[in-house]
């Protein structure tokens, strides 16, 4: 399958130069490639929240559920529980999953539900035109914090590690090869996969220069070690400092998943009726 | 004997609910109909709990103030309920704990605490012991109590039987409850709550998933589903909050699994954004919404009907919804199945609007009497051509398809969307899609003509009546009984959206005076009726968290010269 077969007539309204284009291109090629291999495309369901990131589903000729702001993961979780054969991929923003929907993110990791979440982490509210988010650095001057934000940023991979996610990685929208690799790994991983993508927002938080200077790809990192993962994740805290920013897979583990918890199929109507009558006997 | 009421009271933790159900089961085995009101405060230990079990030869769904037997496990029960005693009433009490001072009625004190001590039984067996005494007093054969205990005591049956027998042997017979079994040709009926009936109705219509966050008085649906759901292949989930609940329901529906959620007012507030998504994206979802006394935390364990307005208009934007308010367990079973069918037939949110009384009271339940209802088929995509999730059709209902479908993309969208499900801001398309969604309400309303969306409860003498009582939800039982007694007509509005104006008009033929009876302070059904041109002459409202007793309603009617 050609990645362009996954395009739609939906109008792309991202700003020229937006990092979302890389994510779109990377996910199209990964899904096109997987279609020929282990996961045929009709088994894939995309779920998005609301924000610039979320528009990606309109640009993908793939099953999708364009949800509401912050509510990507409950939808995705239920789709996976409803039909564990589906591959569920979520696109979310830093406002979407770290502010409005933080509870769901922590719980998805805690449940280790077998879905993938790609965080378009531009560290700003794009669609509402430039307010600070949970990953904006301390002192960020956004529309709602004209004098600089007063809060330290969250470190999303650290939060995910603590919450029980079993695949944690970071990519950067300047580096599509690595993005593709991480997306593929995340999708194929069994369990909750979290890919934090440093997605540049050219309009409200253009960090190209800083990222180009400071990001580096991890080598010889032992992703099976929780301690090593924690160390590398903590080496950069999303603050404004100029420490190096690691990219790549931080952590991968195998653990029980919520989607393994539900077995059994629904009886036919006749058996159901009989079971209802039998059940009522208990109440006489 | 037409009516026999028993009240058992004690502290939370005494097993008062279970004791009341045991009394109800005894009467059911004797062929009586029962109704049990359970009153408890919002705490786990201490506080005053009571179960009021009324038995009757007729079908009932309301309690009366006065009681025949008062079973007191503590002094507070006597203090609180002495006013309910008639001259002929009888008090059974724990003689080790309770003094009968100032009570002129006959009584029988049993040394419950001593009996338990002697038997080495734990304090929780108090109620079994006193129920032994109760059976003796009212002349219910030991064998009947024995069979009930044998069937329902999960733990320590032998010890329970022992203390019950002690209670039985030490009490004296003062009544003789006749068995109706020889007159009535039926096996004893199951006794269930409205919440259990709701659960069964949903199961009957093919429920595949139930998602809820605990909130009184809806939690027992979750408990029931978690316990019995798996045998029906139902996936039961208790997630992080009600926002997740509502969104999970829609994930399930998207994947083709029929899902219901359950909550009470506060939890439903959190669901409203997701509800609006269901309206826009045309995702079927059933909401079991059990009212308690509001606003806010209010009285968590008490009743109310204050959320009708809210349910009718919850969620931003305009979209159709189905709302039904069952009045007892049989309504609850039947209409919950219908609600699930309607949600999937019209791809709309569907509400089972219950209240604490319907949901947590106990009713004898006859499956055959509840009405026949089957799972209805949903309109599925033919498989021809390119699938469009929001295709325009004559009735506004777009055929559904669920992933995976080879060569197709099934797209759902919270934004305004085109037929394929891709976001658009096109003005004409926006209007057309809105019309499409609203069109479904017309067909839903037509479909409802097949159902008794408005029920005339008091056939017979009600036909010539000039005065009617208009009610919804749990006031069904009390209105029906008062109407039958006073020669009035009682009318129950079951479906509240789409409003069954035509059926209500028919039901009101010949009525000159219409009295709304509601458990809220602003007469919300009356207001709704007014919107459709129904003039309400009078309102009888109760909003102290407690249900109307038959006496409450009769005296309110009497005060109005009715
Ligand atoms: C409940 C709710 N609150 C607020 C909004 C408005 N809103 C739309 S997008 C957005 C923020 C988007 O930020 P982010 O998730 O980081 O996505 P981005 O646009 O940066 O990709 C907000 C607040 C909304 N749609 N829904
Ligand atoms: S506002 Fe930022 S995130 Fe949104 S499209 Fe433009 S560049 Fe991309
Ligand atoms: Mg953002």
Q: How distant, in Å, are the alpha carbons of A48, A94, A141, A144, A234 from that of A155? A: 22, 11, 19, 21, 8
With both helix axes pointing from N to C terminus, report the angle between B194-204 and B329-346 in degrees, rounded to the nearest 10.
40
Confidence of residue B1 (pLDDT cuts 50, 70, 90): low
- Which pLDDT value is given to residue A11? 93
Closest CA to A272 of B524, B259, B199, B157: B199
CATH architecture of B3-170: 3-Layer(aba) Sandwich (3.40)
User: What separation in Å is there between the alpha carbon of A125 and the centre of ligand 3?
Assistant: 4
Residue B463 has pLDDT above 80, yes or no: no
Closest CA to B454 of B494, B490, B488: B494
Q: What is the number of residues in chain B? A: 562
- By Cβ distance, the residue of A45, A67, A265 closest to B247 is A67
Look up the pTM and report it.
Answer: 0.97
3 state SS of A252: strand
**Chain center to CA of B327:** 7
- Which pLDDT value is given to residue B162? 96
CATH number for the domain that contains residue A253: 3.40.50.970
**Closest-approach residue (CA) in chain A for B367:** A277
3 state SS of A216: strand
- Closest ligand 1 atom to the C-alpha of A49? 15
CB-based contact A74 B230, cutoff 8 Å? no
Contact pairs from chain A to chain B, CB under 8 Å: 180
Whose Cα sits closest to atom 9 in ligand 1? A51
Whose Cα sits closest to atom 25 in ligand 1? A69
- Which pLDDT value is given to residue B184? 65
User: What separation in Å is there between the alpha carbon of A15 and the centre of ligand 2?
Assistant: 5
Residues 6+ apart with CB under 8 A from B384: none
CATH architecture of B191-370: 3-Layer(aba) Sandwich (3.40)
> Token digits for B463?
């036909």
Residue B226 has pLDDT above 90, yes or no: yes
Mean pLDDT score, B318-340: 98
Distance CA A101, CA A70 (A): 4
A120 lines ligand 1 (CB under 6 A): yes
- By Cβ distance, the residue of A9, A267, A284 closest to B190 is A284
On whether any CB of chain B is under 8 Å from the CB of A260, the answer is no
**Chain center to CA of B253:** 25
Instruction: Encode pLDDT of B395-427 as tens digits.
Output: 999 999 999 999 999 999 999 999 999 999 999
- Which pLDDT value is given to residue A39? 80
Whose Cα sits closest to atom 1 in ligand 2? A126
Q: Do the first three CATH levels of B191-370 and B454-559 match, i.e. the same topology?
A: yes
| Mean confidence (pLDDT) of chain B | 96
Can you list the positions of beta strands (E) in B422-520?
454-456, 467-471, 489-493, 495-497, 513-518
Q: For residue B124, how many other CB atoms are within 10 A of its CB?
A: 15
Mean pLDDT score, B52-65: 96
A207 lines ligand 1 (CB under 6 A): no
Instruction: Encode pLDDT of B84-137 as tens digits.
Output: 999 999 999 999 999 998 889 999 999 999 999 999 999 999 999 999 999 999
Instruction: Encode pLDDT of B136-158 as tens digits.
Output: 999 999 999 999 999 999 889 99
Q: Are B259 and B286 in contact (CB under 8 A)?
A: yes
Task: Count how many domains chain A has.
Answer: 1
Instruction: Encode pLDDT of B5-46 as tens digits.
Output: 999 999 988 899 999 999 999 999 999 999 999 999 988 777
DSSP secondary structure code for residue A119 in this structure: E
Q: What is the dotted CATH code of the domain comprising B454-559? A: 3.40.50.920
CB-based contact A82 B252, cutoff 8 Å? yes
- Which pLDDT value is given to residue A38? 75
Q: How distant, in Å, are the alpha carbons of B16, B91, B95, B119, B194 from that of B167? A: 17, 14, 12, 12, 32
Instruction: Encode pLDDT of B347-373 as tens digits.
Output: 999 999 999 999 999 999 999 999 999
pLDDT above 70 as % of chain B: 98
- Sorted by where each begins, the domain ranges of chain B are 3-170, 191-370, 454-559
CB-based contact B239 A74, cutoff 8 Å? yes
User: What separation in Å is there between the alpha carbon of A92 and the centre of ligand 1?
Assistant: 10
Q: Domain of A248? A: 3-283
Confidence of residue B185 (pLDDT cuts 50, 70, 90): low
Write down the ipTM of this complex.
0.98
Residues 6+ apart with CB under 8 A from B40: B12, B16, B17, B47, B49, B50, B301
CB-based contact B411 A66, cutoff 8 Å? yes
């Amino acid at each position: 399958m050609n990645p362009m077969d996954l395009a739609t007539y939906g109008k792309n309204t991202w700003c020229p130069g937006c990092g979302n284009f890389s994510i779109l291109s990377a996910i199209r090629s990964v899904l096109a490639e997987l279609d020929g291999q282990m996961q045929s495309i009709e088994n894939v369901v995309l779920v998005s929240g609301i924000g610039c990131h979320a528009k990606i589903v309109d640009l993908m000729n793939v099953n999708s559920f364009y949800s509401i702001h912050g509510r990507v993961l409950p939808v995705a979780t239920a789709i996976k529980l409803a039909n564990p054969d589906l591959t569920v991929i979520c696109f979310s923003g830093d406002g979407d999953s770290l502010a409005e929907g933080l509870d769901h993110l922590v719980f998805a990791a805690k449940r280790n539900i077998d879905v993938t979440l790609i965080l378009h982490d531009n560290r700003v509210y794009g669609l509402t035109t430039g307010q600070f988010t949970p990953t904006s650095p301390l002192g960020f001057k956004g529309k709602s914090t004209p004098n600089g934000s007063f809060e330290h940023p969250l470190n999303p991979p650290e939060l995910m590690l603590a919450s029980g996610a079993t695949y944690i990685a970071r990519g950067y929208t300047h580096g599509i090869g690595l993005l593709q690799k991480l997306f593929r790994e995340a999708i194929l991983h069994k369990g909750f996969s979290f890919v934090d993508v440093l997605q540049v927002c050219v309009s409200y938080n253009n960090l190209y220069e800083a990222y180009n200077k400071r990001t580096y790809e991890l080598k010889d990192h032992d992703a099976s070690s929780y301690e090593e993962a924690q160390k590398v994740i903590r080496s950069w805290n999303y603050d404004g400092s100029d420490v190096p920013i690691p990219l790549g897979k931080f952590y991968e583990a195998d653990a029980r998943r919520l989607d393994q918890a539900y077995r059994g199929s629904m009886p036919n109507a006749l058996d159901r009726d009989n079971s209802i009558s039998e059940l009522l006997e208990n109440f006489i | 004997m037409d009516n026999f009421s028993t009240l058992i009271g004690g502290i939370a933790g005494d097993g008062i609910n279970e004791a009341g159900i045991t009394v109800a089961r005894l009467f059911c085995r004797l062929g009586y109909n029962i109704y049990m009101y359970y009153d408890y405060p919002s705490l786990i230990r201490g506080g005053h709990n009571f179960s009021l079990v009324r038995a009757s030869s007729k079908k009932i769904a309301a309690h009366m103030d006065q009681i025949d037997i008062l079973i007191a496990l503590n002094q507070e029960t006597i203090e609180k309920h002495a006013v309910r005693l008639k001259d002929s009433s009888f008090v059974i009490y724990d003689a080790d704990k309770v003094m009968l001072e100032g009570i002129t009625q006959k009584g029988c004190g049993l040394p419950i605490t001593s009996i338990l001590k002697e038997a080495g039984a734990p304090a929780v067996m108090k109620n079994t012991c006193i129920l032994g005494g109760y059976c003796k007093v009212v002349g219910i054969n030991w064998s009947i109590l024995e069979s009930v205990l044998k069937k329902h005591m999960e733990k320590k049956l032998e010890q329970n039987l022992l203390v019950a027998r002690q209670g039985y042997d030490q009490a004296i017979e003062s009544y003789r409850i006749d068995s109706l079994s020889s007159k009535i040709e039926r096996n004893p009926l199951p006794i269930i709550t409205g919440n259990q009936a709701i659960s069964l109705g949903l199961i009957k219509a093919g429920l595949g998933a139930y998602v809820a966050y605990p909130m009184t008085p809806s939690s027992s649906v979750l408990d029931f589903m978690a316990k019995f759901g798996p045998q029906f292949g139902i996936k039961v989930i208790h997630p992080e909050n009600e926002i997740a609940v509502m969104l999970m329901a829609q994930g399930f529906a998207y994947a083709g699994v029929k899902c219901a959620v359950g909550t009470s007012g506060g939890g439903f507030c959190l669901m409203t954004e997701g509800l609006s998504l269901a309206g826009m994206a045309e995702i079927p979802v059933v909401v079991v919404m059990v009212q308690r006394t509001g606003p806010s935390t209010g009285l968590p364990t008490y009743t109310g009907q204050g959320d009708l307005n809210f349910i009718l208009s919850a969620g931003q934007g305009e979209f159709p919804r189905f709302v039904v308010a069952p009045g007892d367990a049989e309504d609850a079973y039947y209409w919950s199945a219908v609600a699930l069918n309607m949600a999937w037939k019209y791809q709309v949110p569907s509400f089972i609007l219950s209240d604490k009384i319907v949901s947590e009271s106990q009713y004898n339940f006859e499956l055959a009497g509840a009405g026949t209802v089957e799972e209805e088929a949903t309109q599925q995509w033919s498989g021809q051509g390119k699938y469009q999730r929001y295709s325009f059709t004559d009735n506004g209902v777009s055929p559904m398809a669920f992933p995976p479908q080879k060569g197709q993309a099934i797209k759902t969208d919270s934004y305004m969307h085109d037929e394929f499900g891709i976001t658009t801001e096109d003005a004409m398309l926006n209007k057309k899609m809105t019309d499409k969604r609203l069109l479904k309400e017309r067909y839903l309303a037509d479909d409802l003509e097949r159902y008794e969306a408005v029920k005339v409860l008091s056939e017979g003498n009600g036909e010539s009546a000039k005065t009617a009582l208009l009610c919804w939800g749990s006031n069904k039982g009390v209105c029906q009984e008062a109407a039958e007694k006073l020669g009035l007509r009682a009318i129950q509005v079951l479906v509240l959206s789409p409003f069954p104006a035509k059926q209500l008009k028919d039901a009101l033929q010949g009525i000159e005076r219409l009295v709304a009876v509601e458990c809220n302070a602003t007469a919300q059904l009356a207001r709704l009726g007014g919107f459709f041109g129904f003039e309400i002459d009078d309102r009888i409202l109760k909003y102290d968290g407690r249900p109307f007793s038959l006496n409450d309603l009769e005296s309110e009617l009497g005060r109005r010269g009715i």
